[in-house]
């Protein structure tokens, strides 16, 4: 069974406060006499499910078209962080306990239940500490996905978790829809759209349970 774990890039999806919201209109409109409908959109690339590129946090960071496909497809582990306190509270010790003896996966998805999926921007969410992010990359993590709007806390300005992931050779997905997704191992397919020169790219993310 496939699970679509994407949040739409749409008018009903909250943007980060102060960012550009999604809007859709027509360049050519059949209702106005045109021979075809041709749509146009204005939006932040961070509305809905998306992958940040290193350019998001660094002037000379790699742009969105450089995001490696292999990081965004393969076996992934979903962990439940719904009971965690908001803020940078997901420490290395928390991860070790949550893994319950499992090795660090190449792809890790964290379910916090603090999400824009219901149409409201959350006031806060649990997030990794920078030290925990570094520990994960040193253990082989290639991709971190979260259902929250950011891998960093809402009030963060230095975006230390972003930097720790990128400097450790890992990538990230934000604004996943993990409601109803149980802890466990899955196959993730979540390729970023090939957008050139940008700091982020939209994603359609799908999970399939791994067969025993």
Active site (catalytic) residues = 56
> At a CB cut-off of 8 Å and minimum separation 6, what does 132 contact?
90, 91, 92, 94, 95
Residue spans of alpha helices (H) in the chain: 92-99, 130-138, 160-167
**Residue 128 and residue 170: Cα distance in Å, rounded?**
14
**Residue 138 and residue 106: Cα distance in Å, rounded?**
11
- Please, what is the Cα angle at 197 between 178 and 170, to 5 degrees? 45
DSSP 192: B
Which residues are paired to 145 by β-bridges? Answer: 109, 173
């Amino acid at each position: 069974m496939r699970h679509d774990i994407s949040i739409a890039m749409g008018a009903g999806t909250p943007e980060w406060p102060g960012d550009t919201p999604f809007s859709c209109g027509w360049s050519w409109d059949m209702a106005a006499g045109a021979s075809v409908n041709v749509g146009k959109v204005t939006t932040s690339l961070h509305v809905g499910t998306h992958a940040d590129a290193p350019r998001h946090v660094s002037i000379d960071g790699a742009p969105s078209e450089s995001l490696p496909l292999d990081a965004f497809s393969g076996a992934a582990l979903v962990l439940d962080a719904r009971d965690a306190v908001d803020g940078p509270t997901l420490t290395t010790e928390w991860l070790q306990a949550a893994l319950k003896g499992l090795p660090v996966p190449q792809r890790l998805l964290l379910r916090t239940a603090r999400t824009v999926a219901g149409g409201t921007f959350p006031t806060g969410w649990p997030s990794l500490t920078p030290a925990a992010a570094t520990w994960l990359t040193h253990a082989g993590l290639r991709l971190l996905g979260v259902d929250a709007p950011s891998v960093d806390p809402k009030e963060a300005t230095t975006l230390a978790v972003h930097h720790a992931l990128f400097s450790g050779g890992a990538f990230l997905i934000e604004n996943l829809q993990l409601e109803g997704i149980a802890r466990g191992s899955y196959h993730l397919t979540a390729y970023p759209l090939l957008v050139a020169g940008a700091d982020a790219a939209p994603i359609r993310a799908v999970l399939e349970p791994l067969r025993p």
